[in-house]
Structures are given as C-alpha cells and as structure tokens.
Chains A and B, each alone.
Chain A
Amino acid sequence: MLHIQNITKNYARHRALNNVSLRIKKGQLHGLLGPNGAGKTTLIRIINQIIAPDSGTILFEGEPLRPDHSNKIGYLPEERGLYKKMKIGDQLIYLGQLKGLSKRESKLRIREWLERLEMGDWIDKKIADLSKGMQQKVQFVATVFHEPELIILDEPFSGFDPVNAKTIQNEILKLHQKGSTIIYSTHRMESVEELCTHLSLINKSEIILDGSINEIKDAYKTQTYTLRYTEPEANLTSQLKEMCEIVENTFTPEETYIKILIKESYSLNDILKYLVDNNATLHEVKELSPTMQDIFIDQVTKTA
C-alpha cells in the first residue's frame, strides 16, 4: 500500500527525518509512535504531499506519489479546525469536492455520516455554534467520508471526552474491518495496544522499532510469569530455583503465589511439568509481558 523509502528531511537547524524507511501493507492499522518532536508530523506531512522530502521516495500502491493520490488519502491533522462561520453541510461538501467527490455524492454521504454520529439535525448549523466535541466529530467525518484507501489520523483522540472518544474509536475499528489502511499517530502508548495491528516507533528522526504488535511483544518477552498453585508438600517451591529465579513469593496454607523469571535453557513447560509431576494443583499461570509503554520508554531511553 505505502512504501516509504529512505526519506530524509532537514529544517534550518535540525534533521527532522533521517533515512526513514517504512512499509505499510493494505488493511493494516498501523501505529506511528514517538515522543513529541520525534518527526511523526513531518513524516505524515510528507506522505500527504504537504511538504516535500529532501531525498527519498514514497510509493503509493507501487507508484511514486502523485498529487491526484491525495483523493485516496484522508488526513486528520493534529492541529485541526474548520471555517467557523460556514455551515457544517457546506463545509463538508467543500472538503469533499476538494477530494474529488461530486456535490451530489458528497451530500448523500454527509447525511449518512452525520446521522450515524447522531448529528443529523446539525447540518445547517455553523461550526462556531457547536461544542468542541461535535466539531471534532465533524472533522473526523471530513477525514473519512470520501472513503479513502489510506486514512492518516494524527492524535485523533485529543480533545475528545471519553464517550465521544469511544464512539470515534469504534468508527475507526469499523473502517479497519471494512479494509481501510489506517495510520494512527500518537504519543499515547496505551491506546496503540488496544487498536493497532502493527506499529513503528520513531525517535529522534529515526525509526527504532517496526513490526506487528505480537512480533514486538514476543521480541521483548521477559520470561517472567506468575503462578498460583496448591502444593502437596512444603519443599516443592524451593526446588524450582534450579530452573528459575523467584522474584516474589507469598505462602498461605491453601495456596502458593510466585513470580518467576525463567532461566535460559529452560522454558515454562519445564516448570509446569515439574509442578504437575509432583502433584501440585495449578490455579493460574500468567505471562507478564511488557506493555508497549514499557517497551517504548525502554527503547527511547536506550537511544537517548
């Protein structure tokens, strides 16, 4: 879908992007993560052809990016707004026409979208008369109603109250299910885990991590687990020390709780086999995988 090849962009005093390459496949919901000032917005603006890179190329469905590709892209910028004195309907028609839709087609889709977001009665109201949350909804509609193949959302949830944020999140997931490719840029890690299938981590103008969420999580497995079980004889737990390091433990007459870090050359299976063989009754086994937040902070501080 989108193939970013060796993009470099310099500003007066600093390099915003340094030899950035990235491949986004069709149907991905791709998170673009990075601290403020890492170069996310610059990269997104280059994909939107708002600014030109100093070097490097971008292929959109295998072709070098052309101005008419903008009709197939929907962009919700971080800094966003609408004409305050224009009616919602007129405003959306205008933006639709700029994306190559006919006036008639625009009207139909706008009505449908506004009704879906429970804003059907507001079509003739001016933007200035709307609450901030409603304005954000209109902006979201403006981004997606021309049914773009690629949707780029830069901090889409900023400024939303939790209820509206949920509504928009559901709409994003629906669009993803329908097959749209979505790039979701944010510095809020927790939302990425909830939404994205893939992610790239960008820090200090470079991509430092890229892959599917599961791959990344696997790569950052810490081999830490928590276990709850009832042991038939007292000494069982201490004998595990050969295979793992016991970080935490709590003993009650009914139950044993431990947090372990499995040593190299052993696996979880070895531990479980040992416990089962020795007649322990297992209640719960949980992998303590790092959150994206942990990975993000770990990576960012590592490259600092």
Chain B
Amino acid sequence: MNKIFIIIQREYLARVKKRSFLLTTFLIPVLFIGMYVGIILITKKSFEDSHATVYVYDRTETTAKQLEDNKTLTFIRNPEKDLADQLADLTGKKSKTHVLIIPQDFYSAKATELLSGSKPNMALKTALQNNLSDIILKNEYKKLEIDPSLLEGIESKVKLSTKEIAQDGDTKDSYTEVVMGLGVTLSILIYICLMLYGSQVMRGVIEEKTSRIVEIIVSSVKPFQLMMGKIIGVGLVGLTQFALWGVLSLILITAASGIMMQSVDIDPQMIQGSNGMEPAQLSALSEVSGIDLQPILSTIDFPLIFGSFILFFLGGYLLYSALFAAVASAVDSETEVSQFTLPVTMPLLITYLLSFSVLINDPDGAISTWLSMIPFTSPIAMMVRIPFGVDLWQIGLSILLLFSTFILITWLAAKVYKTGILMYGKKASLKEMLKWIKY
C-alpha cells in the first residue's frame, strides 16, 4: 500500500472517531432544524393559547349579530348573566374571557368598551377593532346606498411579478430576495467550512511538530506525502460531514414536515393528489410560512449549486490548507500562529464581508466578477454569484484558476513545510519562510 494512503487513513480515522466529530455532525442539523420546527410549533401553540371568548352586551341590538367569529375569537352574543354578575366573574381573574359593551350611540360615537380581568393582547384588540370598523363601514355604505358587494369586487393591491429574460427568449420568474438569501447562506457556509477544516490541518501540523513525532514520520515518508496525506484526510472528513449533514437534514425535514402536516390540517386529498413526498413537504412548508415555495424552488438550479459548492469548497480548502500547513510548520506552538493566520485568511475574510454588500447587490458587476475569478477569493465570491445565475464558462474558468493556483501554492508550501517542521525552538519570520522556498 502506498504510504500516503496509510497517512490519509490515519488522519481520517483519528478525526472521524473523535467524539467531537459525532457531536458536530449530529447536533448541527438537529439544532438548525429543531430551531425551525420549534419556532413554528411555538407560534402555533401561542395561537391556540390566545383563543379568547368575548361576552357581548349589545345596547344597539343590531351590532352583535354582525360580529364574525374566527379561529381565535368566539363571541357570546346573548350572555345569560347580566352585566354586573359577568363583571364580578371577571374581576381579578387572568382568564381569556372578556366583556365587550357596545353602547347605544355606537354608530355615531364609534366607540366601545372592552373589559378584561387582565391586559388584553394586541391580536385581540386588532381583531375586535377590524371587526367593529367593518360593521361601521357597512352601516355607512348602507346610508349612502352603496352595495358593499360591489366594493368587495374591487382589488386595489398591486402585484409586481419580476421575470428575467433567458437567452432562449423565454421568461422565467425571478425571486431576488430568495436568491440573495441563498447567496448569503452559501457564503457563510463555505467560509465556515474553509476555516473549520483549514484550521484542523493547521492544528494537526502544529501537533505533530510540538509533539516531535514529525521527524520519526518523515524518516519513513517524504514531508510532502505527510502534508498532502493530512490535507486529503481532513478534506475527506469534511466531505463525510457534508454527506452526513445532507442525509440527516433530509431525514429530519421529512420527519418535521410530517409532524407539521398533521398539525396544520392540510386537506388529505391534496397530499394524495400531489403523489410523493417532496411536493407534500413543500406544500406543508408553504402552508406554514404562507408563501408558495414550489415555483420559487423550481427556478433555482440546485444540482449546479451543490456541484459548484463541492468543487469550490475542495479548491478553496486545498489552497488554504496548504497555506495553513506552511504557516503552522513555521511556528513552535499554537499560540504563536494567530499572527500568521490573519494575513493568510485576509482575502477570505474580506470577500466574506463583501458578500453581504457588494456581492449580493451587484453580483454581475466588475468587482464581483473579478473577485469570483481570483483564486484566493473565488470560493466565496463565486458561490454568492451562482444563485443569481453565472455563465458556465465563468464558473469553469474560475475552477480551473483555483485548482492551478492550488497546485502552485502547494508546491511552494511544501518547501516551507519541509524546512519548517524540523526547525525547533524558534519562530520563523515571514522573511525566513520565503527564504526556505529556495532550499
């Protein structure tokens, strides 16, 4: 067996077997999805809890029957108890029961009183106000002899649907907000992943150097094999984690949307009709969030995004972890490394910050285009741009540049690494590290 495979195997297994790997792998999706489900369930619960009963004492005789019940509000129109008894019941109790008094001069004064044992919540107040305003409005229409049903037919809300023209002349719907959100999410994801796995390579190199095992290992394999073995091993850990996250998320989303479908009372006919899990899940999500997700999601090229994410993660990871390995080889302890990592990760950090402004606001502008071509910034910049739609040749060129730079940088980094790992007891300056390239 080639020795580099033995190294890859150790680096991979040592990390995958760790408890922290299992924790991050399982906890992160559980945490995210749990949060999402939690928020929805809590919101739902609070709706149920806020159900209020309102006893109506109507002095006008005609208003009460015009009040409309809904899910959170029930009107008792002809209370058995008289007002005084009802109020006595209310006093000092924090119940969801309220008393509404509609005075005789309601239609002229346009005022009512709501009496509660505690402070009524905002939702109830708004619902009552809307309800009563409608009644006043209808009353006014009647006086002016306007048929309210005519007015209901008039729709004044304007819908602005945005479409972009594709090269083949077709138009397709575009959802800028969704795409921006996706771009930012991808930027955060790739930035975190690059830093996470890059720093694992760095810590691994420092561990080998400070524990002094490195000289024993490089007497059996070439320093380059050790460095690449470590980089590849950690990279595979990253890919494994992505795969597990993907599988876990799918399971959790299926389970979660199952729970939500039950509680959201979707017509079972609809689910059967849609045939298959995915549309059912989507409609469950749509129902909850109140947005129709299906047409939005169908405009996003997920295979392209996933494919590019993997490629740009790999390219960026290989490039930066080679730099990290070189830097780590030059220091003598983990505490010394921070002053070197900042200059190394600066391009990444700047692009990350820019992705929240320039990149998402002007994804096809000159700055964005350049940043998505320069290898040190392209993993983030290109991932932000891809959801907006980027020509394939640009993506291809960017990947090509990224991987060729990775080869060049690895070649240089290996030279620094080779010398650095055997320099004990002193921290090298940047100048010295550059000199090592010539050894």
Chain A 120-153, CB within 8 Å of chain B: the 1/0 string?
0000000000000000000100110000000000
Given contacts A81-B211, A83-B207, A83-B211, contact A50 B435 (CB under 8 A): no
B59 at the interface (CB under 8 A from A): no
Q: Contact check, B215 vs A98: say whether CB atoms are below 8 A apart.
A: no
Q: Contact check, B213 vs A81: say whether CB atoms are below 8 A apart.
A: yes
A209 to B223, CA, bound (A): 33
- Tell me the nearest residue of chain A to B226, going by C-beta: A98
Within 43-101 of A, Cβ neighbours of B (below 8 Å) are at: 45, 48-51, 67, 70-71, 73, 75-77, 79-84, 86, 94-95, 97-99
Q: Contact check, A75 vs B207: say whether CB atoms are below 8 A apart.
A: no
A12 at the interface (CB under 8 A from B): yes
Given contacts A12-B435, A86-B14, A98-B3, contact A75 B211 (CB under 8 A): no
Q: Contact check, B220 vs A70: say whether CB atoms are below 8 A apart.
A: yes
A1 to B432, CA, bound (A): 37
Contact residues in A for B424 (Cβ distance below 8 Å)? 79
Q: Contact check, A80 vs B212: say whether CB atoms are below 8 A apart.
A: yes
Contact residues in B for A95 (Cβ distance below 8 Å)? 216-217, 220
B44 at the interface (CB under 8 A from A): no
Contact residues in B for A70 (Cβ distance below 8 Å)? 219-221
B390 at the interface (CB under 8 A from A): no
Q: Contact check, A84 vs B211: say whether CB atoms are below 8 A apart.
A: yes
Q: Contact check, B222 vs A67: say whether CB atoms are below 8 A apart.
A: yes
Q: Contact check, B216 vs A97: say whether CB atoms are below 8 A apart.
A: no
Contact residues in A for B211 (Cβ distance below 8 Å)? 81-84
Chain B 187-219, CB within 8 Å of chain A: the 1/0 string?
000000000000000000001100111011111
A94 to B10, CA, bound (A): 8
Q: Kindly identify which residue among B6, B216, B222 contacts A142, using a CB–CB cutoff of 8 Å.
A: B216
Within 203-261 of B, Cβ neighbours of A (below 8 Å) are at: 207-208, 211-213, 215-223
B422 at the interface (CB under 8 A from A): yes
Given contacts A45-B422, A86-B14, A97-B6, contact A81 B220 (CB under 8 A): no
Nearest-Cβ distance from residue A121 to partner chain B, whole angstroms? 23
Interface size on B, residues (CB 8 A): 24
Interface size class, chain A: 20 to 34
Nearest-Cβ distance from residue A147 to partner chain B, whole angstroms? 14
Nearest-Cβ distance from residue A213 to partner chain B, whole angstroms? 27
Given contacts A94-B6, A98-B3, contact A80 B215 (CB under 8 A): yes
Given contacts A12-B435, A94-B10, A97-B6, contact A48 B219 (CB under 8 A): yes
- Tell me the nearest residue of chain A to B223, going by C-beta: A50
- Tell me the nearest residue of chain A to B436, going by C-beta: A12
A102 to B3, CA, bound (A): 12
A254 to B422, CA, bound (A): 64
A49 to B212, CA, bound (A): 17
Nearest-Cβ distance from residue A68 to partner chain B, whole angstroms? 10
Contact residues in B for A81 (Cβ distance below 8 Å)? 211-213
Contact residues in B for A99 (Cβ distance below 8 Å)? 220
Q: Contact check, B217 vs A79: say whether CB atoms are below 8 A apart.
A: no
Contact residues in B for A49 (Cβ distance below 8 Å)? 219
Contact residues in A for B221 (Cβ distance below 8 Å)? 70, 98
A12 to B6, CA, bound (A): 34
A95 to B217, CA, bound (A): 7
Within 138-152 of B, Cβ neighbours of A (below 8 Å) are at: none
A76 to B1, CA, bound (A): 24
Contact residues in B for A77 (Cβ distance below 8 Å)? 212, 215-216, 219
Chain B 69-105, CB within 8 Å of chain A: the 1/0 string?
0000000000000000000000000000000000000
Contact residues in B for A143 (Cβ distance below 8 Å)? 216
Within 198-257 of A, Cβ neighbours of B (below 8 Å) are at: none
Q: Kindly identify which residue among A50, A82, A84 contacts B218, using a CB–CB cutoff of 8 Å.
A: A50
Q: Contact check, A80 vs B216: say whether CB atoms are below 8 A apart.
A: yes
Q: Kindly identify which residue among B1, B3, B10, B213 contacts A82, using a CB–CB cutoff of 8 Å.
A: B213
A50 to B226, CA, bound (A): 12
Chain B 360-386, CB within 8 Å of chain A: the 1/0 string?
000000000000000000000000000
Q: Contact check, B212 vs A79: say whether CB atoms are below 8 A apart.
A: yes
Nearest-Cβ distance from residue B136 to partner chain A, whole angstroms? 75
Nearest-Cβ distance from residue B184 to partner chain A, whole angstroms? 37
A75 to B212, CA, bound (A): 13
Chain A 19-55, CB within 8 Å of chain B: the 1/0 string?
0000000000000000000000000010011110000
A75 to B435, CA, bound (A): 28
Nearest-Cβ distance from residue A75 to partner chain B, whole angstroms? 4
Within 264-286 of A, Cβ neighbours of B (below 8 Å) are at: none
A95 to B418, CA, bound (A): 19
A299 to B301, CA, bound (A): 78
A194 to B223, CA, bound (A): 36
Given contacts A79-B424, A86-B14, A95-B220, contact A50 B6 (CB under 8 A): no
Q: Kindly identify which residue among B207, B208, B219 contacts A73, using a CB–CB cutoff of 8 Å.
A: B219
Contact residues in B for A82 (Cβ distance below 8 Å)? 211, 213, 216
- Chain A CB count within 10 A is highest, among B10, B213, B221, for B213
A81 to B219, CA, bound (A): 13
Nearest-Cβ distance from residue A50 to partner chain B, whole angstroms? 5
Nearest-Cβ distance from residue A79 to partner chain B, whole angstroms? 5
Contact residues in B for A86 (Cβ distance below 8 Å)? 14
Contact residues in B for A98 (Cβ distance below 8 Å)? 3, 6-7, 217, 220-221
A142 to B220, CA, bound (A): 12
Q: Contact check, A79 vs B215: say whether CB atoms are below 8 A apart.
A: yes
- Tell me the nearest residue of chain A to B438, going by C-beta: A12
Nearest-Cβ distance from residue B96 to partner chain A, whole angstroms? 58
- Tell me the nearest residue of chain A to B13, going by C-beta: A90
- Chain A CB count within 10 A is highest, among B208, B212, B215, B222, for B215
Contact residues in B for A94 (Cβ distance below 8 Å)? 6, 10
Known: A48-B219, A49-B219, A98-B6; 17 extra A-B contacts, CB below 8 A, are: A45-B422, A50-B219, A50-B223, A51-B418, A70-B221, A77-B215, A79-B212, A80-B216, A81-B212, A81-B213, A83-B207, A95-B216, A97-B1, A97-B3, A139-B216, A142-B216, A143-B216
Could you jot down 18 A-B contacts, CB within 8 Å?
A45-B422, A50-B215, A51-B422, A67-B222, A70-B219, A73-B219, A77-B212, A77-B216, A79-B212, A79-B424, A81-B211, A82-B216, A84-B207, A86-B14, A94-B10, A97-B1, A97-B6, A139-B216
Contact residues of B with A, CB < 8 Å? 1, 3, 6-7, 10, 14, 207-208, 211-213, 215-223, 418, 422, 424, 435
Contact residues of A with B, CB < 8 Å? 12, 45, 48-51, 67, 70-71, 73, 75-77, 79-84, 86, 94-95, 97-99, 139, 142-143
